[in-house]
Structure 1
Amino acid sequence: MGRKASSASEIEVRVQSRVGDNSIHPLEMGSGPPQRQPSDAEAGILSGETMPFRRWRPWLVPAFIAANVLLFAITMFVNNCPRNSISCVASFLGRFSFQPLKENPLLGPSSNTLEKMGALDVSKVVHGHQGWRLVTCAWLHAGVVHVLANMLSLLFIGIRLEQEFGFVRIGPLYIISGLGGSLLSALFIQSSISVGASGALFGLLGGMLAELITNWSIYANKVAALLTLVFIIVINLAVGVLPHVDNFAHIGGFISGFLLGFVLLIRPQFGWISQQNHSPNYHTGPTKRKHRLYQYILWIAAAIFLIVGFTVGMIMLFRGVNGNDHCSWCHYLSCVPTSRWSCNSSATYCSASQEGSQLNLTCEGGSDRSHSYSLPNATSDRIKELCSQLCS
């Protein structure tokens, strides 16, 4: 199972398309006590009286952004294009210059460098027992365009969510969603390496949708908010059917975040909130529960589905199961072929022969292109780099 390990010349990029400030939040009230206790029905439409939820100072999401950017810089330093490639883009940047556009149009490193840094390579995860790649791949990016698109999305979505719920909830939501995206990607895309944080970003979108549903009664204009959020999610998922975009990471991250949202982003309901804000001598009638029955049901059901899903997925992955063998149409979720592009993603590899100081490479991935290089002592990494350029 898995890919030919001799070369991973194709990169499945987890692309999160640009989104605006699409966070949707319950209304907040002033610091003064309410004049009367509104009914639950009024709670959904009043614009001046809801829970004064604590506003957290965001620091974790900015730290995530800084970590992603730093890791991209380290990846480019390790890549060292002038040493390992015949030509480079923006060569004035020295060892931070980019691979040729034909090899990586996103202005970034080679696939071999990404693989060394921890990109998701299913053959290494399954046969090399490198399960840590399921986590590290979510912190790597294929190029400047890739990292900028994902970090801008994280800035718009993540900052507001951390302000609403704090780092204790948003941190696990982001990391576990990224793992869920990597897991589904590994089950269905096994012919190329995969990198990108968009699985985690889709997890934040999924968490937002779950939060809107589980805290339904405290929202004003709830139907409009729901339709807006669903529209944003559908548009972002639709982008994933383009070639070389890892939509399975998007879907896996979204499902993980959606389930986690019911567990982590639950809020107290309005009737209980109103009673907490009254003065001690104010008679409010029977005490109301902090959470409603449907919130408990969603919490338990989501936790069960999440645990079962991750357990089954991990067992299937480490047994070498290819999801496409059990779902003949699922590959269309990540790429829909048209007359303008193909969805073929078979790995390319080269046959090599050394004759004195002459290295001869032939691409065996379908193009059958050959080239000779003057390299007396070519290392395996160097051969992979040249093979990737030759077959791209």
Structure 2
Amino acid sequence: MGALDVSKIVQGRQGWRLITCIWLHAGVVHLLINVLCLLFIGIRLEQEFGFVRIGLVYLISGFGGSLMSALFIRSSISVGASGALFGLIGSMLSELITNWSLYANKVAALLTLVFVIVVNLALGILPRVDNFAHIGGLISGFLLGFVVFIRPQFAWINQKRVAPGQETAPVKRKHKTYQYILWLAAVVLLIVGFTVAIVLLFRGYNANDHCSWCHYLSCVPTKKWKCNSSPQTCTVMQQPNTLDLTCDGTGTHHSYSIAGATQDQISQLCNSLCS
């Protein structure tokens, strides 16, 4: 149906799933939550910047969230617009930063946005929540905000509104220097980041092989819940003095200095590796 399924994206070359998964949801409740969040966040941004720029941030952020999710979550199917919504939140943060001089209560606004982001990312460590999509969307939206939400400084705007015959101090530049620097840096990071991520994804790259702790960003197991309710299985390679295990669910790999490991030891290590 178009859900984010890494095996079909990589082996089946169905890259369109990176976009279509944004429009699918895991039930009515999931859909209603995302719609309410979109209304709460999107209305203010659309009134300020128009639907074209907001739509651009929404789509690209959703795509960025799907990319990060696909690089880390290899065995689960994912749907939802949460990555795109986090992108809008991230763009609000970068918009505040790049247009810093235009705001009055800038510190309060900054602290509020940071608090909202931290709380929502913290909720993402619950099971069955794709926090990698949230993080990828947040980063994408944050960078996009520097590009599409840049606004001219007040002095330049006021200069255009001066009545005939009235003199004002001339303002040559529409934007400040730091705004141009942030714009350029964001463009470069977006192009490089998306290019590298797409190439790695279609080469079958598993990010968990190079980051053994990153899976905790999406789910932290506790006594009250497990991050994977299905039985844990691992691919085992027994060497003379080492035991190589790869979690089939997460793709996490680790080598243990154990000679002649028993089945119970392997099961315990597998459960620990996959948790």
Paired residue for 2:270? none
Unpaired runs of 5+ residues, structure 1, are 1-116, 349-364, 366-392
Which residues in structure 2 correspond to 1:100-115 (within 5 Å)? none
CA contact (8 A) 1:141 1:196 kept: yes
Structure ID, larger Rg:
1
Cα displacement (A) at 1:189 = 0.5
Of residues 139, 147, 155, the one that matches 1:263 is 147
Cα displacement (A) at 1:340 = 0.9
- 1:174 lines up with 2:69 in the alignment: no
Query: CA separation in 2, counterparts of 1:310 and 1:195?
Result: 20
Q: TM-score, normalised by structure 1?
A: 0.58
CA contact (8 A) 1:191 1:346 kept: no
Deviations 1:215-273 (A, max 9, x none): 00010111011001111111111110001100000000000000000000001111112
Paired residue for 1:314? 198
Look up the equivalent residue of 2:178 and give its one-letter code.
Y
Query: CA separation in 2, counterparts of 1:193 and 1:253?
Result: 17
Deviations 1:304-342 (A, max 9, x none): 000100000001100001110011111010001111111
User: In structure 2, the residue corresponding to 1:193 is in which secondary structure?
Assistant: coil
Cα displacement (A) at 1:283 = 1.0
User: In structure 1, the residue corresponding to 2:78 is in which secondary structure?
Assistant: strand
Query: CA separation in 2, counterparts of 1:346 and 1:134?
Result: 25
Q: 1:279–1:329: structure 2 CA closer, same or farther, 3 Å change rule? A: same
User: In structure 2, the residue corresponding to 1:196 is in which secondary structure?
Assistant: coil
Query: CA separation in 2, counterparts of 1:221 and 1:287?
Result: 25
CA contact (8 A) 1:122 1:190 kept: yes
- 1:206 lines up with 2:87 in the alignment: no
Which residues in structure 2 correspond to 1:160-239 (within 5 Å)? 160-239=44-123
Of residues 142, 146, 154, the one that matches 2:38 is 154
Query: CA separation in 1, counterparts of 2:60 and 2:184?
Result: 18
Paired residue for 2:241? none
- 1:130 lines up with 2:48 in the alignment: no
Which residues in structure 2 correspond to 1:211-360 (within 5 Å)? 211-344=95-228
Unpaired runs of 5+ residues, structure 2, are 233-247, 249-275
Deviations 1:164-185 (A, max 9, x none): 0001211110000000000000
Query: CA separation in 2, counterparts of 1:294 and 1:271?
Result: 16
Look up the equivalent residue of 1:316 and give its one-letter code.
L
User: In structure 1, the residue corresponding to 2:163 is in which secondary structure?
Assistant: coil
Which residues in structure 2 correspond to 1:380-391 (within 5 Å)? none
Query: CA separation in 2, counterparts of 1:146 and 1:153?
Result: 11
Deviations 1:188-217 (A, max 9, x none): 001110000010000000000000000000
CA RMSD of aligned residues (A): 1.6
Q: TM-score, normalised by structure 2?
A: 0.83
